């Protein structure tokens, strides 16, 4: 067992998968000699060389287009988009092309690309280094969207993604890239895609969260416990395909739901969760669903600590559902 | 490689046949501006190290390319900067206190601390708000130039970019459109040899950037980017062509990024100290000073005087910015739309009434 950060977990997963399978290649801006601006691809260039760890020119559409081509021809491309805020020049390649190859060719062509990209706030990066773009992609059929919240899952889910036959968008919560450290087994393991995890068992209310918001949900539950309310935290881990069963099971137990995301609220992923619960489990609900989210504004620089959902804001929502 | 325009040799000797049309006073003023940019860079990088600002990207080594090109356009012309052209805004008369306020992200900042440091914006100075997204501004600069042409104005637009940005798809569209429609936009590429860690040789296999212009159907000019007079001259010529209705030009200022990509970058991971040392010897400010001194435009005491004034001005501006409070919470919600819609009013009110709060933490890695 080694104690590692999420950055190290991503790096280990890449090393292990590249060692296991010669077809795995990594490409992107600054991923080679520099080892990635967040160091997620450190040492790979030395270990696997120029052909498999590729510093590309500055073009996201070039990076994803190349990855698609490589995958069509049998490589397993794992491109990095340096910040998810810079994924948009590749939006066309991802949504019109990558996501639709299997369908449009009647299953003849597939491109199981794994796009890794850091997302989210908490690093004082202003609007172009802080956004949470998940719903632009969860809205695109054909893409798998994964968001780990700790080192164990980051490693296990990334390995599962690389072995998956479908294209995966792998969103890495950069706020918690380096903390907290966590024990991770040395042996090969994968975490199954499409399964949520209960991080805290409770009976009074459910909080759904993913990525960096899981720790905020946990902290809010500690505060709620002081008031005698026992919360359950459901870490979604995979957004598409969603583990609906675990969501319904949890709200069936608690009857109350607070959803938590740092992306803007309007049409956010939580809106989908609310709709599913409303459609499939409204009869068990004892209070209206509350969504805690980023504001429907661009992400600010100086005031990011006000913008980002924090435990006190979540506690206010918990109080509302508990005192309804 | 195409010929590289040079007016001042590395020793500061001038080629009189190429000397641009600049008064002596203006030359000294350009020197002062270059020094201001350098002084800001030195101080701001230090403040960043002390945690007093969050991020900074210097112009160090590129002052001639920034100041020389920016000085060749007038107040009615427009400028689209990239990361390292803040000095152009100062040239256009922007208040130094507001400049440092943007870097600190305080209430004195006209953009309310909404953007990371170095992302200035001033409509009054026709200096368009910078986005971090590489390349987007190149097309927009083309569009502004096009509008100037449609409206029959004799203005021009400067569109800046780094060498990395020339790989973006926006670069291709911008140059294609601009040349077809003879748009009065001057594209200025600061080829500082790196896009973060990616060296120019991995950015393009082309023999330089200027040469790319020919295929698009516009003149391409390569210029010694550490020679302020050459950059000024190349830009002035391109601006004259654009104003005369002869269309766009692509200028490649060949220079070098002396510091890391930004305050968060460790350049020793990917480049040799020897190369940096070689470029330090080509310092654009020192080169210009040698010329100004030899030409009798300044002497040591004037140089000293300028340096002292620049230092004091920058110190005072930093003080003013640091004395200013944080922007108000209200500013998170304003300017999203012309009028604040109901759902934003609700979110604002809820936030203003909220107890507790998040922690102000985090450090930018890049
Ligand atoms: C579309 C996009 N992709 C990636 C980035 C991350 N990034 C920021 S600066 C930079 C390199 C820019 O290099 P260059 O254009 O040469 O300008 P320089 O910083 O050297 O002045 C990169 C890759 C970005 N800001 N935008």
A25 and A174 in a single domain? The answer is yes
Ligand 1 centroid vs A126 CA: distance in angstroms?
15
A177 and A203 in a single domain? The answer is no
The pTM score is 0.97
Q: If one looks up domain B4-323 in CATH, what number appears?
A: 3.40.50.970
What is the average per-residue pLDDT within A261-266?
Answer: 98
Ligand 1 centroid vs B260 CA: distance in angstroms?
13
A177 and A238 in a single domain? The answer is no
A8 and A155 in a single domain? The answer is yes
Give the model confidence (pLDDT) of A159-196 as tens digits: 999 999 999 999 999 999 998 899 999 999 999 999 99
Task: Say whether B347 and A265 touch across the interface (CB within 8 A).
Answer: yes
* Total number of domains constituting chain A: 2
List of residues 6+ apart from A209 with CB closer than 8 A: A149, A216, A217, A233, A234, A235, A236, A259, A260, A261
Phi, psi of B330 (to 5 degrees): -50, -35
CA of residue A114 relative to chain centroid, distance = 12
Burial state string for B142-169 with b = 16 or more CB within 10 A and e = fewer than 16: bbbbbebbeeeeebbbbbbbbbbbbbbb
Task: Say whether B336 and A57 touch across the interface (CB within 8 A).
Answer: no
A94 and A204 in a single domain? The answer is no
Task: Say whether B203 and A58 touch across the interface (CB within 8 A).
Answer: yes
In chain B, what residues touch A300 (CB-CB under 8 Å)? 112-114, 331-332
In chain B, what residues touch A30 (CB-CB under 8 Å)? 196-198
Helices (H) and strands (E) in chain A, counts: 12, 14
DSSP-assigned letters across all residues of B3-49:
-EE-SB-TTS-B-GGG--S--HHHHHHHHHHHHHHHHHHHHHHHHHH
- What confidence tier does B360 reach under pLDDT thresholds 50, 70, 90? low
Phi, psi of B31 (to 5 degrees): -60, -45
A172 and A211 in a single domain? The answer is no
A205 and A305 in a single domain? The answer is yes
CATH number at residue A90: 3.40.50.970
Q: Is the pLDDT of residue B1 over 80?
A: no
Q: What is the pLDDT of residue B355?
A: 66
Domain boundaries, chain B: 4-323, 326-366
Per the annotation, the verdict on A305 as an active-site residue is no
Q: What is the pLDDT of residue B298?
A: 97
Evaluate whether residue A149 is within a structural domain.
yes
Evaluate whether residue A105 is within a structural domain.
yes
Give the model confidence (pLDDT) of B318-331 as tens digits: 999 999 999 999 99
A172 and A85 in a single domain? The answer is yes
Rounded to whole angstroms, the Cα distance separating A174 from A306 reads: 18
Closest CB from B326, B347, B363 relative to A302: B326
Closest CB from A300, A305, A312 relative to B114: A300
Evaluate whether residue A82 is within a structural domain.
yes
**φ/ψ bin of B356: left (φ > 0), alpha (ψ from -120 to 50), beta (otherwise):** left
Other Cβ atoms closer than 10 A to A74: 7
Interface test with A, best of B358, B360, B361, B363 (most A CBs within 10 A): B358
The residue segments making up the domain with residue A138 are 2-184
Helix axes B24-49, B300-323, angle to 10 degrees: 40
The answer to whether A261 and A132 are in contact (CB under 8 A) is yes
Evaluate whether residue A98 is within a structural domain.
yes
A171 and A218 in a single domain? The answer is no
Give the model confidence (pLDDT) of B18-45 as tens digits: 999 999 999 999 999 999 999 999 999 9
List of residues 6+ apart from B233 with CB closer than 8 A: B5, B7, B18, B20, B223
In chain B, what residues touch A122 (CB-CB under 8 Å)? 361-362
What is the average per-residue pLDDT within B138-160?
Answer: 98
């Amino acid at each position: 067992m080694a104690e590692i950060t999420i950055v190290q977990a991503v790096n280990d997963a890449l090393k292990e998968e590249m060692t296991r399978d010669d077809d795995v290649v990594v490409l992107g801006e600054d991923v080679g000699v520099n080892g990635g601006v967040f160091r997620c691809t450190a040492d790979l260039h030395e270990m696997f060389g120029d052909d498999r760890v590729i510093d590309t020119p500055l073009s996201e559409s070039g990076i994803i287009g190349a990855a698609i081509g490589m995958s069509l021809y049998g490589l397993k491309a794992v491109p990095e988009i340096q910040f998810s805020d810079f994924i948009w020049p590749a939006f066309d390649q991802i949504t019109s092309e990558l996501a639709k190859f299997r369908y449009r060719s009647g299953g003849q062509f597939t491109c199981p690309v794994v796009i890794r990209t850091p997302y989210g706030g908490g690093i004082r990066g202003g609007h172009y280094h802080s956004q949470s773009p998940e719903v632009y992609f969860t809205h695109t059929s054909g893409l798998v969207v994964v968001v780990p919240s700790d080192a164990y899952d980051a490693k296990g889910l990334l390995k599962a993604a690389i072995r998956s036959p479908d294209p995966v968008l792998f969103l890495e919560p950069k706020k918690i890239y380096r903390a907290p450290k966590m024990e991770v087994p040395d042996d090969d393991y994968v975490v199954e895609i499409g399964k949520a995890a209960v991080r805290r068992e409770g009976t009074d209310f459910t909080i759904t969260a993913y990525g960096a918001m899981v720790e905020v949900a946990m902290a809010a539950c500690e505060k709620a416990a002081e008031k005698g309310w026992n919360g359950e935290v459901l870490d979604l881990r995979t957004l598409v395909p969603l583990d609906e069963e675990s969501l319904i099971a949890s709200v069936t137990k608690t009857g109350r739901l607070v959803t938590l995301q740092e992306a803007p609220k309007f049409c956010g992923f939580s809106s989908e969760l609310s709709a599913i619960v409303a459609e499939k489990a409204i009869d068990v609900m004892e209070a209206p669903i509350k969504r805690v989210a980023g504001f429907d504004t661009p992400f600010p620089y100086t005031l990011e600590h006000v913008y980002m959902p924090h435990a006190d804001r979540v506690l206010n929502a918990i109080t509302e559902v508990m005192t309804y | 490689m195409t010929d590289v325009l040079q007016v001042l040799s590395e020793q500061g000797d001038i080629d009189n046949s190429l000397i641009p049309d600049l008064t002596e006073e203006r030359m000294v003023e350009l020197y002062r501006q270059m020094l201001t940019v350098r002084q800001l860079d030195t101080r701001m990088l230090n403040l960043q190290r002390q945690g007093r600002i969050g991020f900074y990207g210097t112009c160090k080594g590129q002052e001639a390319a920034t100041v020389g090109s920016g000085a060749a356009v007038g107040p009615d012309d427009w400028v689209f900067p990239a990361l390292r052209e803040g000095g152009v805004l100062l040239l256009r008369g922007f208040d130094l206190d507001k400049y440092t306020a943007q870097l600190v992200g305080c209430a004195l900042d006209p953009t309310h601390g909404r953007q990371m440091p170095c992302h200035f914006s001033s409509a009054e100075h026709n200096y368009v708000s910078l986005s971090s997204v590489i390349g987007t501004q190149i097309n927009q600069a083309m569009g502004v130039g096009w509008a100037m042409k449609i409206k029959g104005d004799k203005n021009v637009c400067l569109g800046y970019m780094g060498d990395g940005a020339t790989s973006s798809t926006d670069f291709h569209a911008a140059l294609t459109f601009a040349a077809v429609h003879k748009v009065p936009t001057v594209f200025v590429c600061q080829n500082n040899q790196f896009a973060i860690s990616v060296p120019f040789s991995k950015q393009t296999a082309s023999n330089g950037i200027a040469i790319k212009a020919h295929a698009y159907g516009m003149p391409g000019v390569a210029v010694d980017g550490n020679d302020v007079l050459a950059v000024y001259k190349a830009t002035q010529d391109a601006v004259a062509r654009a104003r005369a209705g002869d269309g766009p030009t692509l200028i490649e200022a060949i220079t070098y990024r002396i510091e890391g990509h930004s305050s968060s970058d460790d350049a020793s991971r990917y480049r040799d100290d020897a190369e940096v040392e070689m470029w330090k010897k080509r310092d654009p400010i020192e080169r210009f000073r040698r010329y100004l001194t030899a030409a009798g435009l300044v002497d040591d005491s004037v140089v000293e005087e300028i340096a002292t004034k620049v230092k004091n001005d920058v110190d005072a501006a930093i003080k003013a910015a640091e004395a200013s409070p944080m922007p108000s919470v209200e500013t998170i919600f304003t300017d999203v739309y012309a009028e604040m819609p109901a759902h934003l009013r609700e979110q604002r009110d809820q936030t203003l009434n909220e107890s507790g709060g998040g922690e102000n933490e985090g450090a930018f890695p890049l």
